[in-house]
Structure 1
């Protein structure tokens, strides 16, 4: 059984949809059981997804049923793939930092508090860090993204933006030191380290499970591990390597996830990868178009 992680039934079902949109009920129930879910639990959620139009049943009944995904249902559970692509590109040295800091300032009156709070959340969501009240900083060229959001909220007239190749906070000017002050990197690193520890334990028993408990047990572990990776990367501001500590755990986590995919494929499980895992572990920064802009990579976070 997948250890110590709560997986929503809806997330598991949509995460087991294959890349071509096909969902095999027999495989789904096997993974669900490995994750500690009951057949009734899965069956009721399948009915809800069909009634909502996210899935369409195209054959069979019960465990012999087949479904196809409709619309963009997978986007409900996948972390923003453009964001993950950008992470892998940074790991591969394909998105070097230009050494410039981008500052975003705004001042919105109390009677427009909802717009102010939403814009602040938008800045944080894209990895900008608060410097002082109403002033945020990012190493990424996200000006267009922020202006577009400010226009949508009707507060663009309050926006002030500037770039500088030097930033000083309390007398600190070293870029790596500044990053450690501005972003909660220690907390992000702990999330990645926890993910890596769980991944190693699961990989260590994968061979045993394939021979003993069967591929469903491994598939359940794979799904849980991938969900943990999605949770680990979510708070990561994806700072340029020039601002990160040596042997950054985020780089190691992404590299190990890709390695795990190759190992599990070697055990004959390649056709059993849940979509969530197949998408994330197969991403290779070098395979992304070389002209991808930072704004394109980051804008995917919004989904």
Structure 2
């Protein structure tokens, strides 16, 4: 870590649901277990999240089929639904497998072209939002691209696009250069700024000294990083600046994640009341 300033930092304002996804991904995913709501409240109190906010978040996630309630006596435990497990597993892959640095690009692009009438303006907006979330950039009107072969079945599902959409895989050919596609379709400067902000927050001698312990820091770190990599289109590093900040940011994340994990899990073992399913 670099020796950044040790000025006081406060625990940042993060949406409770984002923290909840990090918590569930680390401590519940892959285990046949549910956690007592009271112990979840104890964990989130470390982050300055109120009991009311935690209970509200848990209730909303039940309504969205992300969590299932399990009653034992007067206690209510929360476990993952298959839908939530799928979402969290995708997040884990993005953090530990896909990562932030794309060194293995094979030169292929996935192209999605569509043309929708004005009467389906809402569908057009939804499709654009989904494509951005899936790592696509707008190359030109109605044509979106992403590096590599992407399965867009889930992106297109439920939109009933029919013949209005075309999906192809292709390679750039002269006079088009891959570097030009990256520059035209993606805001590289904005992506870089996100990683620079992460480094300003975490690449210091004492990240978040006001956080009470490594369990709190672990959840904040994972939440920040997952939010970051979910927004990253995973562009090939060979067509990015040599000092691309994602490289250093990923090193910082992994070093801190491994540093916090042992102490965080010891604390979690003490705090969490679990129910075997």
Contact 1:91 1:241 in 2 (8 A): yes
Structure 2 Cα separation of the partners of residues 103 and 46 of structure 1: 38
CA shift, 1:130, in A, is 1.5
Structure 2 Cα separation of the partners of residues 159 and 51 of structure 1: 34
Alignment of 1:141-156 (within 5 A): 141-142=149-150, 145=152, 149=156, 153-156=160-163
Structure 2 Cα separation of the partners of residues 251 and 16 of structure 1: 25
Tell me, what secondary structure is at the counterpart of 1:153?
coil
Contact 1:188 1:236 in 2 (8 A): yes
Select which of 196, 221, 225 maps to 2:221. Answer: 225
Contact 1:104 1:135 in 2 (8 A): yes
Select which of 22, 40, 56 maps to 2:69. Answer: 56
Match of 1:111 in 2: 119
The number of residue pairs the alignment matches comes to 255
Contact 1:105 1:136 in 2 (8 A): yes
Correspondence 1:121 to 2:109? no
Alignment of 1:174-193 (within 5 A): 174-193=177-196
Structure 1, unpaired ranges of 5+: 275-303
Contact 2:149 2:169 in 1 (8 A): no
How has the CA–CA distance of structure 1 residues 148 and 191 changed in structure 2, closer, same or farther, with 3 Å as cutoff? closer
Structure 1 Cα separation of the partners of residues 112 and 127 of structure 2: 11
RMSD value over aligned CA atoms? 4.0
Structure 1 Cα separation of the partners of residues 57 and 126 of structure 2: 32
Q: TM-score, normalised by structure 1?
A: 0.65
Structure 1 Cα separation of the partners of residues 200 and 112 of structure 2: 37
Correspondence 1:37 to 2:32? no
Structure 1 Cα separation of the partners of residues 48 and 165 of structure 2: 51
CA shift, 1:134, in A, is 1.2
Correspondence 1:7 to 2:9? no
CA shift, 1:73, in A, is 6.8
Between 154-163 and 244-253, report the one with greater CA deviation: 154-163
How has the CA–CA distance of structure 1 residues 185 and 4 changed in structure 2, closer, same or farther, with 3 Å as cutoff? farther
Tell me, what secondary structure is at the counterpart of 1:137?
strand
Contact 1:101 1:163 in 2 (8 A): yes
Match of 2:40 in 1: 28
Correspondence 1:97 to 2:105? yes
Tell me, what secondary structure is at the counterpart of 2:170?
strand
CA shift, 1:139, in A, is 2.5
Any idea what the Cα deviations from partners look like across 1:272-301, whole Å, max 9, x if unmatched? 469xxxxxxxxxxxxxxxxxxxxxxxxxxx
How has the CA–CA distance of structure 1 residues 155 and 167 changed in structure 2, closer, same or farther, with 3 Å as cutoff? farther
Q: TM-score, normalised by structure 2?
A: 0.70
Structure 2, unpaired ranges of 5+: 1-7, 270-277
Correspondence 1:71 to 2:71? no
Correspondence 1:262 to 2:258? yes
Structure 1 Cα separation of the partners of residues 190 and 200 of structure 2: 16
CA shift, 1:43, in A, is 4.8
Structure 1 Cα separation of the partners of residues 266 and 180 of structure 2: 45
